Structure 1
Amino acid sequence: MFADDTWSIGELAERAGTTVKTVRFYSDRGLLPEAGRSTGGHRRYGPEALDRLRLIRSLRTLDLPVPDVGRVLGREDAADNPLDGALEDVIAERLREIGSRMAALRWREAALQLLRDCPAEERADRLLLIGSVSAPPSTTSLVRFWRAWIPPRLPARLASAIIDQAVPQPPEDPTPAQVLAFARLHAFVSGDCDGGDNRPAVHRPEEGYRPAVLYDGLIEAYALASAELRAGSPARPGEALDCFVSAYAHARGAPDSPAFRRLLGGQLAADPRIDHYWGLVAELISPPSGPPEPTAGSAHAWLSAALDADTAREAA
């Protein structure tokens, strides 16, 4: 130590328990304050450089990139508390990034377990299936499918509500079966499965429906039917069915009558279905053990069966 109470780069490195190369690296990037230069032009550092170097090393143990370290140190220079402001933002960013990386690792682990445990003759096909899905998976293909499937020109609010209900969010910690279900969902919606003109009658303007009115009512009806499904109730007349029929009736400007219910039952029976999609969604969102979680598809099927039971009772 010199009489002026400054240290050489080697002395600073020794006090900090690091290498001269490390000190020089951070100094060259402007992260370490120099107290001045010796008569020979060598860098000299004061005690504040040791505190700064210890803070830098603490930040680097959190795997913060050097530019982020600089942001935090800049905030330290401008405030009394270095643990607010930029540091808080950087920590939040790192947590999001690490969370995404961990989610990807969990999906890859489940995918590897799926390949390990499946029959040898299925391994190649399953590898191609899950290899087409990113980790963690994106729901972009599912959203695209539903934007093509739902009636055009729906209000943005309603279209978003339908898509939110129809597109499942992949679990953060999936089982191998859930990885397989999502991969099959992705393959299903990525294929030629939109049906072209083979759409439900409500999607065709010539049928006289007002789709926005219908789907507003169906969202409520599906919620009521989902409660029945969770309770294990058989398909039956009641509030959920009345709400379901009312949605269709209001969408056509027709009264809810026995004749309308018979007409609606026949129409629903003839409409195309995407039951395979909803079955895969149920596999994806349901717990590993216990009853399957209701979906909009299973709610629709329950309500259709309730309508059939109701019209059959009326006919009898």
Structure 2
Amino acid sequence: MKPKSSFTISYKPKQLENLLLVEELNYYAVMSSADIAVKIYRKLHPLDISLLRAIELLMAKHEYVPEVLIAKKAKLSLEEAQHRLQHLSKNRLIRKWRGPYVGYVLNMAGYDVLAINAFVKANVLEAFGKPLGIGKEADVYDALTPNNRRVAVKFHRLGRTSFRQTRRKRDYVAERYHISWLYQSRLAAKKEFQALKLLYPAGVAVPEPIKHNRHAIVMGMIEGAELYRYKEIPEPKQVFTEILKNVRKAYLEAGVIHADLSEYNVILQPDMHVLIIDWPQYVTKDHPNANELLGRDLKNILKFFRKRRLLNASFSEVFEYVVGRRSSVKVTEV
């Protein structure tokens, strides 16, 4: 039985709007930051991009960047900078602050614009489509390359979870006490792209990594639905076995452990093969907690199949198989 919702889109690639001609997206009562970014991108002047870049760079030293410094960094007169900053603020790309001075910071939509602009200038993206998935920590959109290849664009959104929880769960930000949401998202994207670069050449079923910029990744197309969305799973033993084979290949051939694996980031594609997504929390197999994290991943997958009364297998056998100490696992269908 097909799931209620999925990553699959219902329109043909030729129906995608060109990035410079994209129309307003009206399928959300509240537009996401990427929707805002795509809508406004075609209207921006190169000087607006320069101002956004200036704010991005100066945010490393200022909680709110003084407009005087922004103008100087962008090499604009204060009067012109003020006019353009007001326009950017009105379009929700930056946020204005009034205190002892007037300052600005990037909103997530402004950060999205900078990433989109980088992909366009690098000749990676030509067209933008509808969202494929909106989650707590990322938005994924359908897009086209200049060669008319369908791809997925993932924008990391770590600001949607609590700062304390993110620092606790993700060791790559654990020691940074004054880290911004934008920088956290940028680190997450960088780390996930690194994982995909290790996994994809090893033959693990993951999206192909194409390009990374700031908090965004362009990757191979994602079609299908997360495992948890299926009320009925055709050939559950085959699906379970394929997941284990990919986790084993990731461990043995790429030296990588997902570290957050569950039914929420295993995609069952239209051809009934799996695709494993969401790798920003990955660790290498020489990580001090590697066995614990790998065991948790495997327990999550086992728990899902057991809870659905689809099949059963010994956890110890599954673990031994994945780390290469067994050649097979005995799987019993319920």
TM-score range (shorter-chain normalised) is: under 0.3
**Which of the pair is proportionally richer in strand?**
2
Give 1 or 2 for the bigger CA radius of gyration: 1
TM-score (norm 2): 0.25
**Which of the pair is proportionally richer in helix?**
1
TM-score (norm 1): 0.27
